[in-house]
Amino acid sequence: MKGLAPPTGLRRLWRWLWQVSFLRRLALSMALLHVLVLAVTLADVGRRGLASRAELERQAVLQEARQLAAAVRHGVLARDLGQLTEQVDVLRSAGHLRYAMVLDTQGRVLAHTAPVLAGQYVVDDFSRSQLQRRDALRPFVAQEADELLDVWAPVWHGSSLAGWVRIGHDLQRHALDPWTVLRQGWWYGLLTVAAGLLLAAGIARNLGRDLGRLQALLRRVRQGHLDERIAVTRQDELGELMEGVNRTLQRLQADEAELRRTGATLARERAYLRAVLGSMRQGVLALDADGRVQLCNATLLRLLGLSGGPAAWQGVPLARLLQASALPASAWRDDERAAAAPAASGSEPPSVQTAMGGEPPVAGADGRLLARDRVPLVDDDGRPQGTLWLVRDVTDELLAQERLRWQALHDPLTRLPNRLLLGDRLQRAMARARRSQELLAVCMLDLDDFKRVNDVLGHEAGDGLLVRVAERLRGCIRAEDTVARLGGDEFVLLLGGLGGAAELERALTRVCETVARPMTLPQGEALVHASIGVTLYPVNDSDADTLLRHADQALYQAKQQGGNRYVMFDLEFSQRTQAEQRLRERLRVALEADELVLHYQPRVRLADGRLVGAEALVRWPQGDGTLWTPDRFIPLIEQDALIELLGEWAVRTVLRQQHAWRQQGCAVPVAVNIAARHFLRADFVARLQLLLAAAPDVPAGLLEIELVESAALDNLDQAARTIEQLRALGISVAIDDFGMGYASLGYLRRLPVDKVKIDRSFVMRMLDDADDRQVVQAIIGLAHTFGRTVVAEGVEHDGLARALRQMGCDEAQGYGVARPMPMADWPGWVERWRAAPPPWEAPAAVSAGAAPS
């Protein structure tokens, strides 16, 4: 790295010019500043000149375009190409003109400075886009490049656009080059720099003489000649500096006067300290090492109920001050003995003590609560010098803390204990139950009709209802019991000291009856009921969290039984619920891993045996090789969001399979069963459209939707709208298991479905049971009355198929046609079925009462 260091001569020159002498540094700085200012000025002049020239050119071209547009207006309207050519020819010899043309609104060149282009059309995208503009009322710059300015001007006839004028102008910005200006100003710059150097040298010489005199004076002062002075011959800043040096020397000789001024300053500081202490809201008390008062303020005297001013108590022992105060006799008396302890012992000074952290507050003169901070006073060497008290009024602070603590442990709406306080009280109640050998009932309570109140009367009414319910619950339990709110409309009751089941039954009956009484709210009349789940401790010897969970499971069971009741926790039910939950979780994992499969059961037309569709039936493969049918797991998720994921998975899988079957020539419409919860979603159709869009080569008519008849009972209007939207997409809709629920004439009339599927329980027994046969016949007639296709499920043998065809049934599905089959078996089965006549066309081989195959 030594080879990279500057030569010795250059270092010396740099040191001589810049480092050693302030005057030479001043001269060099002024020269460099002149050069920099000159360079910036010339560059700016060049830039401004170029910008001004460009703007002038732009305005000139715009004016030229405006004039040409006015001149050719009549020629464009009359399509007088000769006149237009004459107008354009006038510009042909103009300087820096690259082209000029007149266009009609379609882009045809009516006139051009290059005559060979007349009659042609502009075809580039940029020009075509400019022709579409209808908002240009005056000429505008369409594009501006480094050497070309493209200007368009509209030719208007009244409020109609008749054509366009387009002028291309070569820019001449290079005519003014900033670097040329810099080169031309080079000599001027040299003269300016030379003048600056001469000026700087003159100033340096003038300053150097007086600075040398000042430097010589300071050398003599360092030698101890404080009586030396310098003659001031200047009126500028250097003269002020000399004058300041003389004054400084004079002040050094006036030590006694300076000391008097220092004493006055200290007096002012003491007065300022007293003012600060007097304005403080905290009481301040400073004690010396002997426990005597050295300093206090008026706030301390007021808080302690002492008379007189702060000066009256200076030097008074702490014990006498405390005796005269309004504090209790036992308050802070430890300080009477410990005030002087740090100074006497010489041990480590005590740490700061806070009343909020350790000592409880005490009552002051007016009954308000006072707290103190005690701080040891030490000198710079760490030796104890006394103690400082800071006394403050903490009444409002403690009240605020109490409010915060209450808010942290209570529900803000009902003012009942929240989950946090409930946990503490439950632990205490369990401990009491263990000691007294009595029963503790942990009750989880939920309002049955709360959502309806919110929907009908509004959320404000719902909040008011919760407040009224909380008041009623507090009023119907004992003072030693607890009622808490967990959130929403969920409450917890802790009923302790129970002697037996009869006492618990009376208490829970009283709670249910109290809640069930009608309530009059500002928004209207409200009526709700309570469902309660109960578990008993220590009969159920579990921890607090488990007790609450068991009570919640019992509450769920009460809800399942219709509500408005209480149910005791059942261990067998809990285990069954947990098993069902584990099964649901397994199903979720299997669905996410795409482990489920679909089997397809064909549907045929009874009249001629033609294959008209199929139904997709989900199967869940198990680890032992078995396949679970839907009745093993679908009932567990019918009210769960998982049923919606399963429905969308089935639709997605069917569409993917239809793509393959279409290529094999065996595609038919496939029906997918959709649960009620899924079908009645507001976005059901929109989400189905997204699935169809993901399979654009599969027609929507190859997908059918089946729903059980009870699916639409909760909201017939919404169900009807959804069915209409599906039919608009080309998707047919069928009602499955018709006849098992609440179907009626009005039901079929209001729901515009395409098919009605008769439940298999009626079909399978119709040859042996006259009532079932009548039901089947009635459903067929009712459906045909409304123009619906009838599909019979459970057609297990040929005799049923022939009987159904005679009764007018349209289509059949069941083991008599085919069992549900994997997707791989479908193409072969379709080929075999199409090659042979339907089995019911042959003579009957199975008697009417034979068992299904």
Q: Provide the pLDDT for residue 336.
A: 47
Q: What is the CATH number of domain 268-399?
A: 3.30.450.20
CATH of 584-826, one of 3.40.309.10, 3.20.20.450, 3.90.550.10, 1.10.540.10: 3.20.20.450
**So where are the chain's domains?**
46-178, 185-222+227-253, 268-399, 410-569, 584-826
Report the pLDDT averaged over residues 798-814.
93
Spatial CB neighbours of 194, under 8 Å, sequence gap ≥ 6: none
Does 2 score more than 60 pLDDT? no
User: Residue 111 forms beta bridges with which residues?
Assistant: 102
Q: What is the pLDDT of residues 85-138, one digit of tens each?
A: 888 887 777 767 888 898 888 888 888 888 888 888 888 888 888 888 877 778
Task: Please provide the average confidence, as pLDDT, over all residues in the chain.
Answer: 82
Q: Among 11-20, 281-290, 416-425, which is the least confidently predicted range?
A: 11-20
Q: What is the pLDDT of residues 365-414, one digit of tens each?
A: 777 788 888 889 888 888 888 888 888 888 888 888 888 888 888 999 99
Distance of CA 30 to the CA centre of its chain: 59
- Residue 850 pLDDT class (50, 70, 90 cuts): very low
- What is the rounded CA–CA span in Å between residue 165 and residue 156? 11
Q: Is-same-fold flag (268-399; 410-569)?
A: no
410-569, CATH topology level: Alpha-Beta Plaits (3.30.70)
User: Residue 218 forms beta bridges with which residues?
Assistant: none
Q: Among 173-187, 310-324, 688-702, 729-743, which is the least confidently predicted range?
A: 173-187
pLDDT higher for 264 or 829? 829
Does 183 score more than 50 pLDDT? yes
Segment of 129-143, 489-503, 577-591, 708-722 carrying the highest mean pLDDT: 489-503
User: Residue 151 forms beta bridges with which residues?
Assistant: 141, 167
CA atoms within 13 A on the CB side of 455: 4
Instruction: Name the class of domain 46-178.
Output: alpha beta
Q: Provide the pLDDT for residue 626.
A: 92
Does 256 score more than 60 pLDDT? no
pTM over 0.85: no
- Residue 711 pLDDT class (50, 70, 90 cuts): low
Tokens matching residue 370:
């006072």
- What is the rounded CA–CA span in Å between residue 655 and residue 571? 45
Report the pLDDT averaged over residues 424-431.
94
- How many percent of the chain have pLDDT more than 70? 86
- What is the rounded CA–CA span in Å between residue 592 and residue 133? 54
- What is the rounded CA–CA span in Å between residue 608 and residue 591? 39
Q: Provide the pLDDT for residue 574.
A: 62
- Residue 746 pLDDT class (50, 70, 90 cuts): low
Does 778 score more than 70 pLDDT? yes
Q: What is the pLDDT of residues 450-463, one digit of tens each?
A: 888 888 888 898 89
Q: What is the pLDDT of residues 602-634, one digit of tens each?
A: 999 999 999 999 999 999 999 898 999 998 888
Q: Provide the pLDDT for residue 820.
A: 96
* DSSP state string for 630-673: GGGTHHHHTTSTHHHHHHHHHHHHHHHHHHHHHHHT----EEEE
- Residue 595 pLDDT class (50, 70, 90 cuts): very high
Q: Provide the pLDDT for residue 121.
A: 87
Q: Provide the pLDDT for residue 175.
A: 47
SS (H, E, C) 760-820: HHHHHHCCCCHHHHHHHHHHHHHHHHCCCEEEEECCCCHHHHHHHHHHCCCEEECCCCCCC
Does 217 score more than 50 pLDDT? yes
Q: Which is nearest to 830 in space by CA: 710, 661, 627, 688? A: 661
